[in-house]
Chains A and B, each alone.
Chain A
Amino acid sequence: MTQVTDAVAPVAETDVPAVEMRDISKAFDSNVVLTGVDFEVTQGEVHALAGGNGAGKSTLMKILQGVYTKDSGVIRINGQEVNFTSIQDAKAAGIGMVFQEFSLVPTLTVAQNIYLTTEPLTGKVLIQVREAREKAREVFRQMEVEVDPGARIADLGTAYWQLTEIAKAMAQDARVLIMDEPSASLAKHEADQLFELVGRLKAQGISIIYISHRMEEVYRIADRITILRDGKNLLTERLTDITPDQIVEGIVGQQIEGMAYQERDTSAEPEVLLEADGLTAGARVQNVSFTLHRGEIIGLAGLMGSGRTELARCLFGIDKLESGEIRIHGQRVDVSDPRQAIKARLALIPEDRRAQGLVLEHSVRDNLLLPLLKKIERGLLIDDGKGKELAASLIKRFAVKVANPARPVRLLSGGNQQKVVIAKWLGTDPEVLIMDEPTAGVDIGTKTEILTMIRDLAHEGKAVIVISSEYAELLAVSDRVLILRDGAVQQELARKDITDEESLQHAVQGV
């Protein structure tokens, strides 16, 4: 973890805080989520909010946005006590939210999205289209970013969606912006632009509550950090007064060694498990060859659009290969669809667990059993008793925290949902496991668990391909790293030849 030591702007302690939450408590039925939490953001401050799974940070933010009502405690905005009963109340008080899952209408234009429900009107009926565009342009000008207000959202990249979200909040005169993992879906240079924008907003006196699991960016942009644990305040510190290790410890509750690379005993004569030979598909996969051994973990590094995900999709038969071949145990296998890939004992933990990994409305158990239905059949019918047992054993083996496996999987936290996806696939007993961003949007505790899981799987003799945008994570587990650029393998590095995150960063950027 590198510490960025940018000078932190002084925070005027004497000012009235933009947001002051005192002694906030909240319980859902008998499940106490927050007990006496204090949280404060001064004007023009970037305040990071961190905490593990179920620490209560989303609940606290939902109370601030008026989604939930607090059971007790006081909220003051600029010194005025408020009682939000709806999202509209919070918006009127200047609280804006940049959603982790974007809340834009893709078929409408940028300006239409920004002024959705708050359109400038002629005679209370007709929307002033040109006026709206002009106003949107003005908002972007103040943000100092280039976005065409007339462009359709669907035609723009995710970075622009986020800018539109921010502009939408600004157009509604937000003085406090809540950003939940805003960099998660951005490439590095886009994230840099975002951080610069955060700096400019801050200079305009806008307060930002920044929820992130990425330590580096917290140090880069935040003034202070508040860590919650089990629904209580753990600490609030200036980032100049706290080390990354202390933060991680605060979040996880103990010192973790998960992120450090652990020398693994790779056997003297590793058996070749999978060979990819000249794989080509579309523009994003160009003549890719590599060899994967039993018990080995390969990391795929590359910028967004470098073809990492596309390569994974080819290996699993979701996208069709135009040329090249895949051999497993030296035998050529035809993976023209996922069914063939499963037969060849491959498994893919997909990038987007909500869209690709899970049937959200179905129960945890049904999701776990979906690829395993053959195993629990007795004759023509499914044996539900056997299914329950199998699901329970997977839940136990992968430490999924779930009270009732018959409840919908959508009720689980991101980390636990990811564990369900992993458990579901490992139930098929694959030999080669492809994991695309396995720790995206999960808390640090679960992240460590997943990394440990990956090492254990390799130790058991499985071969693993890990795709990740977080270099620390790649370096924590990979034995070798393949660097992809424009769909081709640019470089192959042994772990011992990579000194630190920075050198990997350089290799990926190609400078």
Chain B
Amino acid sequence: MTQTTKPPQTEGAVAVERRNWFATLDWRRYVIYIGFVVIFIFFAILLGDQGFLSPNNLLNILRQTATITVIAVAMTYVIACAEIDLSVGSVAGLASVVTAMAVAHWGVVVGVIAGLLVGAVVGSINGGLVAALGIPSFLVTLGMLGIAFGMAQWITDSAPQPILSYAYNLAFGSGNMGPFPGLVVWMAIFVAVGAVVLAKTRFGRQVLATGGNRMAAEFTGINTKRIKFEVLLISGVVAAFAGMLYAGRLQSGRFQWGQGDELSAIAAVILGGTSLFGGSGSVIGTLFGALLIGLINNGLILAGLDASQQQVIRGAIIILAVALARKK
């Protein structure tokens, strides 16, 4: 028995209640936003002379973060559902080469469809194995990471697949939409849709309930197998889309695109406050998690650190942020 029953409320008690509410306001939930602002200001002061605050540099950060953010939005659903998807990086790579090859042979429309199809197939296999056979997603997607990566290398003989379609490259990452880089617009679309669906739709609530307590969700009439299948399917398709953005931005498909992105995406999701054990998730948090990683990368480059030093500092900051955000 826990002590939560309240004495009958009087006027005074209401005031006390309000003060309690403020005291119990869980600042840990906002660590990512606080951290983002603190590090931003830190770099702004320290690296102001190196052009950190120039609009170009800031847009650059957004552009470099965009694909990771797109992947991480879907990863938020997977992790909130108490699963994991390690195959996203290599799915992005596979989708980039399949799209590039299909565009070269059959044109842009077929190329786009083929790319998305790669994600749908991989996502269905992941989701099907996890939902129907109950194999842990960690194992299924770890295997799929190797399969997709190997496949992308195999069908291209490790050669880059150039994309010469101006229209494709314009739409998927190289061009601008109005004043904004296309990549950033795509990122904004994914974040907006992802945030609304998770917080404001039946599907979103069912994902959170399934991740929070699968048995209770099942007893409540939620088809938890279908939910698990769907989040992994979404993750696969979205990862493929991210691969297509890589292809558009770099005007070619290559099996290396997206390599290692699964770890950045997971880090962004966890930094954003989504519980690694499922049941809670915030897409906006994920966006800031990804931006924070991008910010750190950018700042460290401007500060003149080399790649190895960047990795060390980035790792330390991620651990620190997650430690601060953990529950009591």
Contact = CB atoms under 8 A, between A and B. Distances in A.
Interface string B219-252: 1111100000000000000000000000000000
Interface in B1-59: 1-7, 16-17, 19-21, 23
30 contacts: A28-B3, A30-B19, A30-B20, A31-B3, A54-B5, A58-B1, A58-B3, A348-B219, A355-B213, A355-B215, A356-B215, A356-B216, A359-B208, A360-B213, A362-B212, A366-B209, A370-B209, A370-B217, A370-B222, A374-B202, A381-B201, A382-B201, A403-B4, A403-B6, A403-B17, A411-B4, A412-B4, A413-B1, A413-B2, A414-B1
Nearest to A61: B1
Interface of B: 1-7, 16-17, 19-21, 23, 196, 200-202, 205-206, 208-209, 212-213, 215-223, 275, 279-280
A59 interface: yes
A348 B2 CA distance: 25
Contacts of A359: 208-209, 212-213, 216-217, 279
Interface in A363-384: 366, 369-371, 373-374, 377, 380-382, 384
Contacts of A350: 219
A402 B4 CA distance: 8
A373 B3 contact: no
Interface of A: 28-31, 33, 53-54, 56-59, 230, 316, 318, 337-339, 341-342, 348, 350, 355-362, 366, 369-371, 373-374, 377, 380-382, 384, 401-404, 411-414, 416, 424, 443
B279 to A, nearest CB: 5
Chain B interface, >50% SS class: helix
A370 B220 contact: yes
A351 to B, nearest CB: 10
B221 A338 contact: yes
B203 to A, nearest CB: 9
Given A366-B208, A401-B6, 19 more contacts: A29-B20, A33-B3, A58-B2, A318-B219, A338-B220, A350-B219, A356-B219, A358-B213, A358-B216, A359-B209, A361-B280, A362-B209, A362-B212, A373-B202, A373-B205, A381-B201, A382-B201, A404-B21, A412-B2
Interchain residue pairs A-B with the least CB separation, the first 5: A54-B5, A359-B212, A373-B202, A359-B213, A338-B221
A356 B212 CA distance: 11
Contacts of B218: 318, 338
Q: Is the interface of A mostly helix, strand, loop or mixed?
A: mixed
Given A361-B279, A361-B280, A370-B205, A355 B3 contact: no
A355 B20 contact: no
Nearest to B196: A381
Contact of B16 (A30, A348, A357): A30
Contacts of B220: 338, 370-371, 424
A414 B212 CA distance: 19
A401 B5 contact: yes
B3 A56 contact: yes
B227 to A, nearest CB: 12
Given A358-B213, A362-B209, A54 B4 contact: yes
A355 B205 contact: no
A357 B216 CA distance: 5
B196 A371 contact: no
Contacts of A316: 219
A315 B105 CA distance: 57
A403 to B, nearest CB: 5
A378 to B, nearest CB: 10
Contacts of A318: 218-219
A411 B4 CA distance: 7
B279 A357 contact: no
A381 B6 contact: no
A358 B214 CA distance: 10
Given A338-B218, A359-B209, A443 B1 contact: yes
Identify which of A337, A381, A402, A443 gathers the most chain B CB atoms within 10 Å of its CB: A381
A316 B217 CA distance: 14
